[in-house]
Amino acid sequence: KSFDNMDQNQLAVYNAITAYALSMLDDKDVFGNKTRQEIIRGFSEQRRRDEKRGYDARRRVSFSELDPDTYPRISKAFNKLFNKDAE
């Protein structure tokens, strides 16, 4: 279902699922750094393929816009993959 056409209950469920998925992706006891980077890389590659096919819909998650204080491991992995200035 289109993200723009969701009612409040559906949006609340999507937000809860997104928050849970991000918290698991950021959890050092669930994913190691290499696996976390592979997941982020795969997500990015899929977005590029979708865009080329004209399927690039609005996404719920933009790793580049995540709060690094809330998701420090995701932010560090994203920056390491896509930002040459990252540590």
Quick check: 28 and 73 in contact, CB under 8 A? yes
The pLDDT, as a whole number, for residue 87 is 46
What's the predicted TM-score (pTM) here? 0.80
75 CB neighbour count, 10 Å cutoff: 20
Q: How far apart are CA 43 and CA 64, in angstroms?
A: 12
pLDDT in tens, the chain (87 residues): 466 788 899 989 988 999 999 999 999 999 999 999 999 999 888 888 888 888 766 666 888 889 999 999 999 999 999 885 544
